[in-house]
């Protein structure tokens, strides 16, 4: 009996932003740009101000209870979100915020398997809590620090997710052997020339013995992780033995 392999549908990512221009560079260069050109992913950036109802296109207001900083109003966000959800179903409506769950490789892997994602970019002091309570399905932080707006965080998440989609990278195994896929940091990498400024490439990498090369890479990755990220090394010791090889493009 003839069976046809199921093909994953094209991913779509919608980003709602106060300053969409910030996203023009990250989303129109390098790997993400190529993925869009190939039709593997569709990314649309929406200006939150297009969903306002006043002549000033204002999206923020003072916080109840006083205090410094402005808050993004619920009405424009509600209109923007419901406008999009009226067109398709979303696997996740993500709000990027410093108090969200920490974004890591495991979460990037999970999101890369989704079909439709929406990302809300906060600004000023954040967004009205009622939108978080009733419309947002996931809150994500890219680190314990504060940015001027969520656009850069949205770009980070988008890039990390898109590169994992099959067909985006030239080498299908490349993304699977990045740092953090199994909690290990990547080992050192070298390219030509063999000797530069008197500094030599490790001899094992020139040997052609793939088994020895993989062992060397594993040892280097383990040593690097122990030294720089003891928190990751603890996870490795708790969960399972590390894999055989790592590479990275960061």
**pTM assigned to the model:** 0.85
Largest CA distance in the chain: 69
Report the share of the chain in percent with pLDDT over 70: 87
pLDDT of residue 41: 97
3-class DSSP assignment, residue 61: strand
Does residue 1 belong to any structural domain of this protein? no
DSSP string covering 148-204, please?
A: SBSHHHHHHHHHHHHTTSTTSSSSTTTGGGSTTTTSPPPPP---S-SEETTEEPPGG
Report residue 207: phi and psi, to 5°.
Answer: -75, -25
- The pLDDT value recorded for residue 86 is 98
Please give the distance of CA 226 from its chain centroid, rounded to a whole number: 25
Q: Which region, left, alpha or beta, applies to residue 155 given φ > 0 means left and ψ of -120 to 50 means alpha? A: alpha
Q: Name the band, by pLDDT with cuts 50, 70 and 90, for residue 4.
A: very low
Condensed to tens digits (0 to 9), the pLDDT of residues 238-247 reads 886 555 555 5
Residue 132 lies in a domain: yes
Q: What is the pLDDT of residue 250?
A: 45
Please check the confidence at residue 173 and state whether its pLDDT lies above 90: no
What's the pLDDT score for residue 96?
Answer: 98
Structural domain range at position 182: 175-239
Would 169 be classed as within a structural domain?
A: no
Determine the average pLDDT of the residues in 215-244: 86
Mean pLDDT, to the nearest integer, of 199-217? Answer: 96
Residue 167 maps to a domain: no
The CA–CA distances, whole Å, from 208 to 181, 214, 216 equal 26, 11, 13
Domain count, the chain: 2
**Residue 73 burial (10 A CB sphere; 0-12, 13-18, 19+):** middle
For the stretch 116-153, pLDDT in tens is 999 999 999 999 999 999 999 999 999 999 999 999 99
Q: Are residues 17 and 89 in the same domain?
A: yes
Tally of CB atoms within 10 A around 81: 22
Q: How far is CA 32 from CA 40, 43, 57, 59, 117, in A?
A: 10, 9, 30, 29, 15
What's the average model confidence in pLDDT over 48-65?
96
CATH number at residue 152: 3.40.1280.10
Q: Quick check: helix, strand or coil at residue 147? A: coil
User: Confidence band (pLDDT; 50, 70, 90) for 183?
Assistant: confident
Helix ranges, 1-120 (H): 24-27, 30-37, 74-85, 105-112
Average pLDDT over residues 97-103: 96
Asked if 131 and 206 sit in the same domain, the reply is no
Examine the domain organization and report whether 202 and 125 are in the same domain: no
Q: List, in sequence order, every residue forming a beta bridge with 52; answer none if it has no partner.
A: none
Residues 106 and 210 reside in one and the same domain:
no
- pLDDT reported for residue 52: 97
Cβ(76)–Cβ(46) below 8 Å: no
């Amino acid at each position: 009996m003839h069976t046809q392999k199921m093909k994953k549908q094209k991913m779509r990512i919608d980003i709602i932003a106060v300053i969409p221009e910030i996203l023009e560079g990250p989303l129109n260069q390098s790997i993400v740009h190529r993925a869009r050109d190939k039709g593997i992913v569709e990314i649309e950036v929406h200006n939150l101000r297009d969903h306002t109802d006043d002549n000033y296109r204002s999206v923020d207001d003072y916080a109840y209870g006083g205090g410094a900083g402005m808050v993004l109003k619920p009405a424009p966000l509600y209109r923007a979100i419901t406008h999009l959800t009226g067109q398709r179903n979303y696997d996740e409506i993500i709000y990027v915020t410093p108090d969200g769950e920490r974004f890591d490789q495991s979460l990037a892997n999970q999101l890369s398997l989704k079909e439709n994602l929406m990302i809300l970019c906060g600004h000023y002091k954040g967004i009205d809590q009622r939108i978080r309570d009733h419309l947002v399905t996931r809150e994500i932080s890219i680190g314990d620090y504060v940015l001027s707006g969520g656009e850069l965080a949205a770009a980070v998440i988008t890039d990390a997710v898109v590169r994992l989609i099959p067909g985006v990278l030239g080498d299908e195994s490349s993304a699977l052997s990045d740092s953090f896929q199994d909690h290990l940091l990547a080992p050192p990498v070298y390219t030509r020339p063999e000797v530069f400024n008197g500094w030599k490439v490790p001899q094992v990498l020139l040997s052609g013995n793939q088994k020895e090369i993989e062992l060397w890479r594993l040892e280097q990755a383990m040593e690097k992780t122990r030294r720089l990220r003891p928190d990751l090394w603890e996870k490795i010791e708790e969960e399972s033995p590390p894999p055989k090889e790592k590479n990275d493009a960061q």
